[in-house]
Amino acid sequence: MTESTDRLDSTKLNSVESASTNIADNKVPIAVSSTHQSIDSKTMNHTPKAMYVTSGNSITPKGKLDKMPKMVANGSRAFIWYLLAIMVLILDQWTKWLAQTTLAFNDPVPVIEPFLNWTLAYNYGAAFSFLADAGGWQKWFFSGLAFVMAIFLTVYLIKAPRAAKLLSMGLALMLGGAIGNLIDRLRIGKVVDFIHVHYADVWNYPIFNVADIGVCVGVALIIIDMIFLESKRNK
């Protein structure tokens, strides 16, 4: 009887120990699951910030958007380039006055033989004497064209990017040259030319003036800026 009782007690003790072990084992996954839920909750509360900024149908990486250049216009600093245009204008008008007061019409004065002469000439048309014999209407046509161009260049110099110094220089040179020849057309109805580049009697370049130099150099600078520098500014 005693032996049987001892066996029964031993069986109960083993059952209690097994139940305790199972309960203890069940606590671990519950704790771990709670921890996982806590971690997942924190993860959900710290959602990564968007790396892309959308605008309309376009998507631009945020880092690239921050690095995009901000173009600042010349604004009031265009006054510097207006001074350059005025210098070209003054030089042009002064040299034309010298040519008219010291040179005889169509009488070459050698300067660097056999490449350069001072030769007073008049142009009633455009560059290279285009429409020179049109009958007089070309004076008002080219004067109006030069006037519109001067206004456009004046406004464009204000809006041109401040960093585009070569572009602004080209615009200023063109502006000074355009106004220089415009003054000639309105004052005497023709453009005064006196710079004669040639090679002996074999080759002669059309006679030109300082205003023409300003326009041609200005156009060249603008083209150089468009081809080589504009794309770099937009990166």
Q: Any idea which residues carry the catalytic annotation?
A: 193, 212
CA count, 13 A, side-chain hemisphere, 88: 28
| Amino acid (one-letter) located at 81 | W
Instruction: Give the 3-state secondary structure of residue 177.
Output: helix
Stretch (H or E) spanning 61: strand 58-61
Burial class (CB in 10 A: 0-12, 13-18, 19+), 13: exposed
Six-digit token string for 158: 């204000």
Contact 161, 78 (CB under 8 A): no
The CA radius of gyration of the chain, in Å to the nearest whole number, is 43
Backbone angle region of 175, left / alpha / beta, with phi > 0 → left and psi within -120 to 50 → alpha: alpha
CA distance 195 to 14: 121
Q: How far apart are the first and last CA of the chain?
A: 99
At which residue do the structure tokens 């042009």 appear? Answer: 92
